[in-house]
Structure 1
Amino acid sequence: MKCKNCSKQITGDYQYCPHCGQKTDIERLNFQQLLRDLWMAFSNTDRGILLLVKQLVYRPGRVARAYISGQRKTYFNPFSFLVIMVAVALFFILKFEDTAINYSKIETNEIELLRFSFRHFNVFILLNCPIYGFLIWLFFIGQGTNFVENLALSAYLSGQTMLYYTITIIIFIFFPSSMKILGLILGLFISFWYVLAVLQFYQTRSVWSIIKTVLVILITQFISQGIIMFTFSIYKKIDVNFL
């Protein structure tokens, strides 16, 4: 029997290919199989998204460190995770933006900027990920990691942050008056969580590492806001309806 994935010959009664690890009893793709694969992707105890989300809450840096250290079959791919979470967050933003955010209490000149940011939310987040990854690598250069490994950490953090944003949007829908306080709490929580992630990733507890991580967060936010303002100003100047 040949493996349908790697085409290597399999001799013996194997449930999984000894060469590539794929199941040997792969059936023709049908709707039932599709639903089963989707459920496994989310719930698989070895590398499902649900397991990943749970572990990223309290051990984000350790998850990223384990992934770059070779545990690729244990954890969901960070870049696939980021794309999925951005898509989920974008759906909720576009679907419930007007419900979750009370624009009547926002100044008129800020509304257009907010709408522009929300409409292109996915682009800004995907741009933000390599910026954060690069800055972490730069500030911790000489610690035995390369840029791409820090990019994996950033992808995990950005993807999980999208989940936090999505949960916050859902809360806004039911409690619109809580927007300011929840926004503040979320910002503080994410900042603390990012610091925790970097300390775990680099296996350090030094005050200097905390300071460097806070600086990275602040610089990343500054650059991100600059990108948003710059692209918005271009949008206004060329008078093209991106929305």
Structure 2
Amino acid sequence: MLPVNQITFEPIDTCLNCGMQFDNEDHFCRACGAKKIEERFTPRRVLNEAGERIFNLDNRFLRTFKDLFLKPEAVIGGFLAGLRKRYLNAFSYFTISITVSGFQVFVMKRFYPDIMKEMSYLDGQNNALAEMIQNSTMEYQPVVMFATIPVLAFMGWLTFLTLKKHNFTEHFIIQLYSYSHLSMIASIMGILFLVTEANYLLFGVLSIPLYIVYNAYMFKRLYSLSVKGILLRSLFFLLILMVVYVLVSFVIVAIVIATDPQGFMEMVKQNAN
């Protein structure tokens, strides 16, 4: 308890979150764990709480981020088994990844517009279709990210179907963690490439191998597979990836033709020239 002269709120007898009765010596609710508030918000309190949550090495975000490197099976397998307190849940982790990715897009648009133009060039010429897809992807990035996860979940479910360990929904959760984790890593790497003026196109080329290698590592630990076992399933995953890539490309082109046939023909003529 705070000393009486430091209490800036009227004493609260019950938890506002769950209704549990507080004892005088309680600092947290014994039922739901909510903090007992005894002082109103001030700049000092805001800074203290932010410091506790952001810079405390034991907080759930940093622990989740670290253990997704060191022991992803503990984070993902634990969440699927019902563990909720030790690590950040998959949807919260995904929300943070959207924020980090959005910051990278902001930095690129605001400070490096020339690099964005270079990304839509093929053989030294502007590719209108590539530019349109790139702009749409950045504009609707959260939607694109979330829409990608069911596709990845289906590919993962199909790859490990014979092991009969996780259903499609569980693979969706697995990919929420994996995709969010890699998205944050890629965003940080992307900003470093921009700031150091390294070849940003090289960063784009490295993104897919990074995803494949990390997922192979993650699934190896999650399923306790041998090196041979994960290599064979990774090859199968790559085969599925190529098929999905071709199908998605056809769908994108079909949508462009259906929504703007004249614009599509102009893009074809432009690229032909």
In structure 1, the partner of 2:267 is: none
Q: Residues 136 and 39 (structure 1 numbering): CA distance in 2 closer, same or farther, change over 3 Å?
A: farther
Amino acid at match of 1:159: S
1:108 maps to 2:113 = no
User: Secondary structure of 2:216's match?
Assistant: helix
Alignment counterpart, residue 185 of structure 1, candidates 182, 200, 206: 206
Amino acid at match of 2:157: W
Q: Is the 8 A contact 2:107 2:191 kept in 1?
A: no
More off after superposition, 220-229 vs 43-52: 220-229
More off after superposition, 127-136 vs 75-84: 127-136
Q: Give aligned pairs, total.
A: 241
Structure 2: runs of 5+ lacking an equivalent = 1-12, 264-273
Alignment counterpart, residue 96 of structure 2, candidates 71, 78, 84: 84
1:196, distance to aligned residue in structure 2 (A) = 0.5
Alignment counterpart, residue 140 of structure 1, candidates 139, 160, 180: 160
Q: Is the 8 A contact 1:60 1:156 kept in 2?
A: no
1:233, distance to aligned residue in structure 2 (A) = 4.4
Alignment counterpart, residue 123 of structure 1, candidates 132, 143, 147: 143
1:145, distance to aligned residue in structure 2 (A) = 2.9
CA–CA separation in structure 2 for the residues paired with 1:226 and 1:94: 30
Structure 1: runs of 5+ lacking an equivalent = none
Q: Is the 8 A contact 1:64 1:156 kept in 2?
A: yes
Q: Is the 8 A contact 1:56 1:160 kept in 2?
A: yes
* Greater relative CO (CA pairs within 8 A, separation 6+): 1
Q: Residues 126 and 33 (structure 1 numbering): CA distance in 2 closer, same or farther, change over 3 Å?
A: farther
Q: Residues 224 and 6 (structure 1 numbering): CA distance in 2 closer, same or farther, change over 3 Å?
A: farther
CA RMSD of aligned residues (A): 3.2
1:91, distance to aligned residue in structure 2 (A) = 3.2
Alignment counterpart, residue 71 of structure 1, candidates 83, 100, 105: 83
TM-score of the two chains, using structure 1 as the length reference: 0.80
Sequence identity of aligned pairs in percent?
Answer: 20
TM-score of the two chains, using structure 2 as the length reference: 0.72
CA–CA separation in structure 1 for the residues paired with 2:39 and 2:170: 36
Q: Is the 8 A contact 2:15 2:22 kept in 1?
A: yes
In structure 1, the partner of 2:270 is: none
In structure 1, the partner of 2:223 is: 202
Q: Residues 10 and 210 (structure 1 numbering): CA distance in 2 closer, same or farther, change over 3 Å?
A: farther
CA–CA separation in structure 2 for the residues paired with 1:186 and 1:199: 20
Q: Residues 35 and 212 (structure 1 numbering): CA distance in 2 closer, same or farther, change over 3 Å?
A: farther
Q: Is the 8 A contact 2:57 2:63 kept in 1?
A: yes
